[in-house]
């Protein structure tokens, strides 16, 4: 309905490291789907190779629900996982509230693989774009050390659609590095305790926030093709 030809399937936290449902979905249409898995230190090289052949191109680490921010990011664990996936050319997707980590840019200045931050860095709009953690994310963006997923604006602001408080975050990540941005619907919108978003509205919102056609093409097509290792798109979209 939305005209989406390719999709990236991200392992949800509730399934832990059991990637079977996601891998089965990848197998249903390997030319159009890519995946982001969740692994642990016990995952074997052969398991990673099987995932790679299936279309997995990154791993996801959720530190929001399991980490005390006062203890800092589990950088040793994250680095160890990054080194495991580095030979495959994968990235590490991090779900973290960047406002809780004011030294974000310094922490990840020499990280072994590309970092991808979900939900604009998952910093609530009330902290503003001048927050030190969000500014650190922008620095990583500018230095080609990170990517940002322009997803879930409804998760990080108090208002309902069209999530006006999030417009400034949209503009700042574009200004920092438009070549390192990808869009996502965040479907199926799990754990939403406010007005449920409609995917068509979210798609239209991107159109209103990113009015330049070439920039929108980069965010929707060119950038994700690079990040998720898709062949160059040859359609007319």
Catalytic residues: 186
Instruction: Return the residue matching tokens 């991090």.
Output: 94
Letter string b/e over residues 54-79, b meaning 16 or more CB atoms within 10 A of that residue's CB: bbbbbbbbbbbeebeeeeebeeeebb
The token pair that represents 65 in the structure block = 């629900």
DSSP notation for 103-127: THHHHTTT-SS-EEESGGGS--GGG
In whole angstroms, give the CA distance from residue 237 to residue 234: 9
Kindly provide the residue ranges of all beta strands, DSSP E only, lying in 160-222, ordered along the sequence. 181-183
For the record, the structure tokens of 166 come out as 């999030």
Which residue from 183, 187, 175, 176 is spatially nearest to 216, judged by alpha carbons? 183
């Amino acid at each position: 309905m939305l005209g989406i030809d390719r999709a990236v399937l991200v392992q949800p936290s509730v399934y832990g490291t059991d990637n079977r449902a996601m891998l089965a979905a990848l197998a249903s249409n390997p030319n159009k789907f890519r995946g982001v898995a969740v692994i642990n230190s016990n995952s074997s090289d052969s398991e990673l190779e099987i995932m790679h052949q299936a279309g997995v191109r990154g791993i996801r680490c959720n530190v929001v629900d399991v980490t005390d921010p006062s203890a800092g990011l589990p950088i040793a664990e994250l680095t160890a996982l990054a080194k495991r996936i580095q030979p495959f050319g994968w990235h590490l997707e991090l779900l973290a509230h960047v406002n809780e980590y004011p030294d974000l840019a310094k922490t990840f200045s020499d990280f072994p693989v590309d970092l991808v931050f979900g939900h604009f860095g998952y910093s609530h709009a009330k902290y503003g774009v001048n927050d030190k953690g969000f500014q650190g994310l922008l620095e990583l963006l500018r230095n080609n050390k990170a990517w940002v997923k322009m997803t879930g604006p409804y998760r990080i602001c108090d208002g309902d659609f069209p999530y006006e408080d999030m417009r400034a975050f949209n503009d700042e990540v574009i200004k920092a590095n438009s070549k390192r941005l990808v869009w996502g619907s965040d479907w199926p919108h799990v754990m939403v305790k406010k007005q449920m978003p409609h995917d068509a509205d979210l798609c239209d919102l991107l159109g209103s926030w990113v009015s330049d056609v070439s920039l929108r093409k980069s965010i929707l097509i060119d950038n994700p093709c690079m990040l998720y290792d898709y062949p160059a798109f040859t359609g007319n979209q």
